[in-house]
Amino acid sequence: MNSNGASSSATDGVRDSNPPKRNSKRPKYSKFTQQELPACKPILTPAIVITTFALIGIIFIPIGLASLSASERVVEIVDRYDLDCIPEQLRNDQLAFIQSSQTNKTCTRSVIVPRYMKSPVFIYYELDNFYQNHRRYVKSRSDKQLRSKASEQDTSTCAPESISSDGSPIVPCGLIAWSLFNDTYSFSFNNEVLMVNKKNIAWGSDKSHKFGRDVYPKNFQSGQLIGGATLNASIPLSEQEDLIVWMRTAALPTFRKLYGRIEEDLQPNQKITVVIENNYNTYSFGGKKKLVLSTTSWIGGKNDFLGVAYLTVGGLCLFLALVFILLYLFKPRTMGDPSYLSWNRNAAGYAD
C-alpha cells in the first residue's frame, strides 16, 4: 500500500537518525509480507465476456471447418461381415461354426468404392464388445519377455497363459497375445490381386523397443484352447507386426486396428472382392466384426467428431456472445454501481 509504504519509510528515517532499541521487533517492510505484490486484477466485465466468446467463436469455427473438410475428404468403406460370413444353415449355432475346425471359414464379399481413394488405402479390422481394456486382460502380458530373450522365463504376470502344459514358458505369454486376431483378408479387383502391404503397420517405437529382435515365439498356442492366431516361430517378435498392433491394447471396447495397406489407388465404383478367412471368435460374446477400408488426410482417418465439436463450440460461443450483447442492451448493469452493494440494496428495498 502506497500510504503505508510512504509512512513506513518515514519511520525508517526516524530509525536511522537515532535508532531506538525498542524498534528492533519492527517487522521489515517487504512487498511479500505486506501482501502488496504487484498483481493484475482481471475483472470479468461484459466486454471481456463478450470478447472472449467472440474470440473463441472466431478461432474455433475455421478450425472446425478445416478439420471437418479434412475428415470429409477421407473415404471410408465399412463392411460388417461377422453374421454374413456364416453359412445360412449354421446361423443358429454360430459358436459351433466358429469353434469347429472342420467348417470352411472362407467367405467372399464384395465392396464398392464410393469415391476415388488415393493410395495408400488402409485396411482395418474393427471389433466390438471386446474388452481389451479389462483389468485381467490388460495386465496379462510380460513386457520383459517381449523385449529380450533373457527374460523368457519372466511370465509371472501372464496368468493364465504363462506356461505351456510341460512347464516351459510361452513366448509371447499372456492373454493378449493368446487372443491374437486371426481373420485374414485378401483383396482382388477383376481377378487381379490387390497387394496388401503388412509392413510398417505398428508404431515405430513399439517395434524397435518393446519387441525384441531376438525373441522368437515358443510354445505359442500349444495348449488345448486356441485363443487366436498362431505365430511363425522363425520370425522374431519385432517383425510380427500383427502381434505388435494387437498388443497395443485399445482404450475402449470398440476399436479398430490396422491390418495393412493397399498401395494402389482405387477408382470410384470399383467393385472389390474380399476373401475373408473368418477365424476369429467374436460370436461367443456377441461382438461385431467389421472390415474397414479408409484413406487418410492430415487429420488421420475419417473423424467428424473433432470438426463437429469445434464447429458446435465455435457456434455456441458466437451465439453466447450475441446473447450477452442482447443482455447487455436490455438488462444492463452499470459496472461498479454502489447501489448493487448488498447493504445498499437492502436499505433501498426497505425504503420502497
Partner 1 sequence: MSGIWERARASRTLRGRDSFGSRDITSNGDRSSRTVRLGRVQPQAPSNRTIYCNDREANLPVRYKGNSISTTKYNVLTFLPKGLFEQFRRVANLYFLMISILSTTPISPVHPITNVVPLSLVLLVSLIKEAFEDWKRFQNDKSINNAPVDVLQDQKWETIPWKKLQVGDLVRVKQDGFFPADLLFLASSNPDGVCYIETANLDGETNLKIRKALERTWDYFLPEKAAEFKGEIQCEQPNNSLYTFTGNLIIENQTLPLSPNQILLRGCSLRNTEYIVGTVLFTGHETKVMMNSMNVPSKRSTLERKLDKLILALFGCLFFMCLIGAIGSGVFINRKYYYLGLSGDVEDQFNPNNRFVVTILTMFTLITLYSTIIPISLYVSIEMIKFIQCTQFINKDLNMYHIESGTPALARTSNLNEELGQVEYIFSDKTGTLTRNMMEFFKCSIGGEIYGNGVTEIERGNLERKGLKLDGANGSATAIREKGFNFDDARLMRGAWRNETNPEFCKEFFRCLAICHTVLPEGEESLEKIVYQAASPDEAALVTAAKNFGFFFYRRTPTTVIVRESHVDKMGKIQDVAYEILNVLEFNSTRKRQSVVCRYPNGRLVLYCKGADTVIYERLAYGNEDIKRITREHLEQFGSAGLRTLCLAYRELSSELYEKWNEKFILAKSSLREREKKLDEVAELIEKELVLIGCTAIEDKLQEGVPSCIETLSRAGIKIWVLTGDKMETAINIAYACNLINNDMKQFFISSDTDAVREVEDKGDPVEISRFMRDLVKKDLERCLEEAQHFFHTVTGPKLALVIDGKCLMYALDPNLRVNLLKLSLNCASVVCCRVSPLQKAQVTSLVKKGARKITLSIGDGANDVSMIQAAHVGVGISGLEGMQAVMASDFAIAQFRFLTDLLLVHGRWSYLRLCKVITYFFYKNLTFTLTQFWFTFQTGFSGQRFYDDWFQSLYNVIFTALPVIIVGLFDKDVSASLSKQNPELYKEGIRNMFFKWRVVAVWAFFSFYQSLVFYYFTAAASHNGQNSSGKTFGLWDVSTMAFTCVVVTVNLRLLMACNSITKWHSLSISGSILAWFLFIFIYSAVMTPYDRQENVYFVIYVLMSTFYFYLTLLHIPVVALLGDFIYLGLQRWFAPYDYQIIQEIHRNDLEDNRSSALLEIGNHLTQNEARSYAIAQLPRETSKHTGFAFDSPGYESFFASQQGVFVPQKPWDVARRASMRQQPRTHRS
Q: How far is CA 302 from CA 64, 102, 117, 128, 256, in A?
A: 14, 38, 13, 18, 12
Minimum separation from the CB atom of position 301 to partner 1 (A): 3
> Residue type for 212, please?
G
- Give the N- to C-terminal CA distance of the chain in Å, as an integer: 40
Which residue, 17, 30, 68, is CA-closest to 307? Answer: 68
- For 127, counting Cβ atoms within 10 Å of its Cβ (0-12 exposed, 13-18 middle, 19+ buried), the class is buried
Helix (H) or strand (E) holding 273, with range, is: strand 271-277
- The 3-state DSSP class for residue 157 equals helix
Minimum separation from the CB atom of position 89 to partner 1 (A): 23
- Give the nearer residue to partner 1 in terms of CB position, either 274 or 320: 320
Minimum separation from the CB atom of position 218 to partner 1 (A): 19
Strand-pairing partners, residue 110, are 273
Distance of alpha carbon 76 from alpha carbon 293, whole angstroms: 6
- Give the nearer residue to partner 1 in terms of CB position, either 51 or 269: 51
Minimum separation from the CB atom of position 87 to partner 1 (A): 22
Minimum separation from the CB atom of position 266 to partner 1 (A): 15
Distance of alpha carbon 247 from alpha carbon 210, whole angstroms: 10
Minimum separation from the CB atom of position 187 to partner 1 (A): 16
Strand-pairing partners, residue 336, are none
- Give the nearer residue to partner 1 in terms of CB position, either 134 or 271: 134
- Give the nearer residue to partner 1 in terms of CB position, either 11 or 269: 11
- Give the nearer residue to partner 1 in terms of CB position, either 249 or 273: 249
- Give the nearer residue to partner 1 in terms of CB position, either 190 or 329: 329
Lookup result for grid cell 475428404: 73
Lookup result for grid cell 501372464: 158
Minimum separation from the CB atom of position 288 to partner 1 (A): 14
Distance of alpha carbon 150 from alpha carbon 152, whole angstroms: 5
Minimum separation from the CB atom of position 284 to partner 1 (A): 5
- The answer to whether the beta carbons of residues 5 and 295 sit under 8 Å apart is no
Minimum separation from the CB atom of position 310 to partner 1 (A): 6
- Give the nearer residue to partner 1 in terms of CB position, either 271 or 333: 333
The DSSP-derived string for 203-220 is -HHIIIIIS-TT---BST
- Give the nearer residue to partner 1 in terms of CB position, either 114 or 269: 114
- The answer to whether the beta carbons of residues 78 and 290 sit under 8 Å apart is yes
- Give the nearer residue to partner 1 in terms of CB position, either 34 or 273: 34
Helix (H) or strand (E) holding 228, with range, is: none
- The answer to whether the beta carbons of residues 115 and 266 sit under 8 Å apart is no
